[in-house]
Amino acid sequence: MAKAPGSQSQNCSNLTSLSMGFNNITSLRHLIIMYSPNLVTLLQGLQNLSSLQSLTNLGCCWEFKSLPDELQNLMRLQSLEIRSCPGLEALPEWIKMLVSLRSSAISDCQNITCLPESLKHLIGLQHLSIQDCPKLLKRCRQQSGEDWPKIAHVPFKHLGSSELRHQSETSISSN
């Protein structure tokens, strides 16, 4: 497949594996996987998607406790969105390898308890959204949260139900 700007898998409740020859679609830039709760094998060969810029995982992989290690090889990944993954407990320390990451959203992942220390090394991260993750949101409270130092460098944050705002505006409004 020579040209493949984007691909989407949606409402595949019986899908258990997604390893469809990623060797042949190296030009894929956007991948969205939606509502495939029984997906057990996520993206074997994902490291071959050298052009992938955005990955969205909505309501998939309910059994996963962490993100697949193959993701760390996606050097061009600019956007990572993870929503409705109840089994997910942590983001990996290797997240710092995603040096092109500009935007990340984590939503409705009830069991994520903390952010990795390495997140503070993603100096290019411009937008971070964390919603409906009560354990994580508690740790991300401005100034007092244990994980606040890991995200303080991100200019635009959407934490909980607050509005997206610039870090300096957030600091001013809290004084």
Could you tell me the pLDDT band of residue 47, with boundaries at 50, 70 and 90?
Answer: confident
CA distance 31 to 41: 16
pLDDT, one tens digit per residue, over 61-94 is 666 777 888 889 899 999 999 988 888 898 999 9
Residue 98 scores a pLDDT above 80: yes
What the chain holds in terms of domains, given with CATH numbers, is: 6-173 (3.80.10.10)
Percent of the chain with pLDDT over 90: 43
User: Hey, what are 23's tokens?
Assistant: 């060797």
Output the DSSP codes for 60-114.
Answer: E-TT-SS--GGGGG-TT--EEEEES-TT-----GGGGG-TT--EEEEES-TT---
Q: What pTM does this model have?
A: 0.79
